[in-house]
Amino acid sequence: MIVSLSAVLLLGLVLVLLLRYRVLRTLDCVLSGTFGFLLAGTALAPVLRAVLAWIFTTFGTIHL
């Protein structure tokens, strides 16, 4: 669950910054959040979690 918590915090921070600098309107943010909650309840949710875990694992192995 650390990966999904990290993803949620990172995406939340990005959304806050976009809202603060008026790049993203409030309605866009609400619709994005609603879509995410609805998507999490579908049969596609495990696939999306696996893809996100693969992406984070791949980026986690990169050493600069």
Q: What is the pLDDT of residue 1?
A: 47
Q: What is the pLDDT of residues 34-61, one digit of tens each?
A: 778 877 888 888 888 888 889 888 988 8
State the total domains in the chain: 1
The answer to the question of residue 23 being in a domain is: no
The answer to the question of residue 18 being in a domain is: no
Spatial CB neighbours of 45, under 8 Å, sequence gap ≥ 6: 39
The answer to the question of residue 54 being in a domain is: yes
Q: Structural domain of residue 56, as residue ranges? A: 1-11+32-64
- Entry pTM: 0.55
Q: What is the number of other CB atoms lying within 10 angstroms of the CB of residue 32?
A: 13
* 22 phi-psi bin (left φ>0, alpha ψ -120 to 50, beta other): left
Q: Which residue has the higher pLDDT, 5 or 12?
A: 12
The answer to the question of residue 57 being in a domain is: yes
The answer to the question of residue 47 being in a domain is: yes
Q: Which residue has the higher pLDDT, 5 or 26?
A: 26
